[in-house]
Amino acid sequence: MVLSRRAFSRWLAVVVVAWTLAVGRAQAASPAPDFTLRDLRGQTWHLADLKGYVVVLSFWNNSCAPCKEEMPHLQAVQNEFQAKNLFVLSVNIDDARFTSIVRDYIGSKGYTFPVLLDTSSAAVVKYKVDKVPPYTLVIDRLGNIVWKNAGYGPGVQAELRKAILSVL
C-alpha cells in the first residue's frame, strides 16, 4: 500500500506522539526507600522484609474521593495476584486523630490488604509524597520502584495492571 504524502505525515505524527507518550510514562527503576510502619492491628511492617515480593504501595488520606475510588481496584489486584507473591500495602497519611475513622472505613468496606498508618509522615517524606493522592507505586521483587502515579482516573487501573504484570 502506498501512502500519499499527507497520509504519511499524519501516520508519522501519530507514531511520534505515541512514542513520546510511551517514553514519558516509562520510568527508570530506582530503589524503594525502606520504612517501618504499624498497621491498623498494631503489627509492624518493614518494607525491606518484602524483598522477593511485588509490592503495590498506595498513599492515601480519608478525605480523598479518588483514593476511595482506587481502593476496590487495589483489593481486586490483591485478590488476583496474591498467589503470585504480590502484596498491596495501603498507607494512610492522615494524622493519628483519624485512626478510628480509617479503621471503621476499611472495616465497613471489607478490604483485606494491610492498611499502614503514617501518622508522623515518615514514609511520606521518604517517598516525597507531595503529589495529589492517591500516590501509588509498584515495587519489583528486588525492591526497586518500577512504576508510580499521582492521582486516580480513567486508564490508571489498566496502567497499574500492566506494571504489575511486567514484574510478576
Please give the pLDDT value at position 29: 86
Secondary structure string (H, E, C) spanning the chain: CCCCHHHHHHHHHHHHHHHHHHHHHCCCCEECCCCEEEECCCCEEEHHHHCCCEEEEEEECCCCHHHHHHHHHHHHHHHHHHHHCEEEEEEECCCHHHHHHHHHHHHHHCCCCCEEECCCCHHHHHCCCCCCCCEEEEECCCCEEEEEEECCCCCHHHHHHHHHHHHC
State the pLDDT at residue 46.
98
111 φ/ψ angles, rounded to the nearest 5 degrees: -70, 140
What integer pLDDT is reported at residue 6 of this predicted model? 58
pTM of the model: 0.82
Nearest alpha carbon to residue 57 among 90, 82, 93, 106? 90
**84 closest CA partner among 112, 47, 56, 54:** 54
| pLDDT per residue as tens, the chain (168 positions) | 555 555 544 543 333 333 333 433 445 689 999 999 999 999 999 999 999 999 999 999 999 999 999 999 999 999 999 999 999 999 999 999 999 999 999 999 999 999 999 999 999 999 999 877 999 999 999 999 999 999 999 999 999 999 999 999
